[in-house]
Structure 1
Amino acid sequence: MDNVQPALFPAPEPDPPVRYEAADFPFFHGARYLAERGFIAQDWETVLEPLNRQLRSIAGELAQRSASGEQILPDPHVMLRALGIPAAQVRVVLIGQDPYPTPGHANGLAFAAEASVRPVPRSLANIYRELKDDVGIPPAAHADLSAWHKQGVLLLNQSLSVAAGNAGAHQQLGWSAVVEAVITALNHRENPPIALLWGKHAQKLAGLMDRMPQLTSAHPSPLSASRGFFGSRPFSEINRRLSDAGQAPINWSIPGV
C-alpha cells in the first residue's frame, strides 16, 4: 500500500456573499426606528429624520448591488455604529474615508477593525506609531478602537459602506448627505467638538466645521504618513485643547482583548 497516492481534495469554495433585501438595512426603516432599537443614540434621531427618504434610497441601492452579487461591507447592523454615542457627548470628530474593503475587517468605526484582525491595518499601525511618539502609549496588538469611541471620539467615515475588494466603491451612493448632516449638527452645537482632519479627502469637509477647532495633517496611510502625519502630535494637542476648555482629556490607550 505504500505506493498508493493520497486522495486529492479540492479547496473549499468561499462562502457566497450574503444577499440583502432593502429592509435588512436598519436605516431603511427611518431615524425613529434606528433610535428606538439602539442603532443610533437618541439625540441623532432629529438629525437623521429629514433624511429618511435618502436612507431608504441608499438601502435600496445596496440591495440592488447585493442582488447582483456584490459583497456589501460591513454588516448592515453596524454601518451607523459611529452614531451610537450621543451627539451631545462627542468631543472629537475623526474623519475617515470609507470602511476597510477586506471581509471581516470593517466594524462601523473609521480606521478601526475587528479585534481579531491581524495584522493591524497599515494606516492604523501608523496612527499607533504616532501615538507612541506623541504620548508614549505602546502600539496595541489589535485594531479595536471602541475605547476611543466610548469616550466621545466620533470615528466617522465619509462613506458608511463599501464593496468587498473595491475601496471607494460607494462614495457616490448618497452617504455624503448623511455625513454632512451629522457634521453640521455638531458644528452648530454650543460647544463644538474638535475636528481631526487627516488628508485632503477629509479636509474637503473643513468648510462645514467652521465653528470647530481643526487639526489637520497628512493622512496616516503608508503613501503619505511621512509627508506630515508623523510628528504632527495630534493626541497631545487634542488633550491640551480639551483641558483648556475645562474638559477631561481622552485616555488614548487601547486595552488588550
Structure 2
Amino acid sequence: MAVSIGLHVSPEFPAMLQRIDALGGVLEADADAAEKLGRLTEDVARALLGAGVVRAALPQSLGGYEFSPRQLIETVERVSYHDSAAGWTMMALQLMTGTTAAYLDAVAAADLFPDVAGGDHALLAGHGTRPGRAVPVEGGYLVSGSWQFASGMAHATHIHSAIQVEGTGELRVLAMPKAQVNSSTTGMCSGCVRRTVLITTAPMCSSRRRTHISPRRRTRPMAARSTASDWSTCRQSGTPVGRSVSGGACSMN
C-alpha cells in the first residue's frame, strides 16, 4: 500500500473559520446552559458537527478534510474564542475520532466511518492512559477495565480506550460502542468540559480489527492502514462490538 508522508494543508480551512464565526452568537448564547448541563447543548453540538469541525481531523481517504496540525489548532482556537468549553470538547472529539479513523484497519474504519461527507460516522471520546485488561480470545480480546476523564463523552457514539494485552504486555487502543459501557459523572473540571466521566465495563469481547497499536509506538504515518478485509461483525446485546460473551467464552450471535 502506497503511503504519502507529505503534510496535507486543506483548502477548506478559510471556509471552516467563516462557518465557526457564523455560529459565534449561538455558542455564546448557549454557554450558560452548557455550564448547567455539564455538556454542550444539542443545538451547539449539532451545529459544530454540521460545520465540519470534527470532519477536519478525519483522513481524506474517508471523506475528511484532513487539516494540518496548525489548521486543527487554529480551528479549535476559533471555537474557543466564542466558548472555551466548546473548543475543548471539539478538540477532544477531533483527536480521538481522527486518530481512530487513521489507525484502524481499513475495513473496520469503513464500518465506523461509512459516509463522512454526509455526516454518517462514529464520534469517539476517551483517552489512552490507565489501560484496561485485554485477554486474547479467538478473533479478538475479552476486555474489562475502568477509565477516567472522557471529554466529549456526552456527544460520542464510541469509546476510545487503552487496553493492555495479557501475556504480551502490548498496548493497544480499542474503539467500542458507548452503549456497551457504563459511565458516570465523578467530579468537576474547571475551565474545560466541566465534568469528569468514569467509564467502566464488565468483561466483553471486541474484534481485534477494532483495535490498533498505541500511536506512541508507531513509526509509520497516520494515513497508513492495512487493507485486510476479513473482520467479522459479532454482537452483544444487539450492538456490533466484535464477539459476545457467553459462559465466559466468546461466541458468535
Larger fraction in strand = 2
- TM-score, normalization by structure 2: 0.29
- TM-score, normalization by structure 1: 0.29
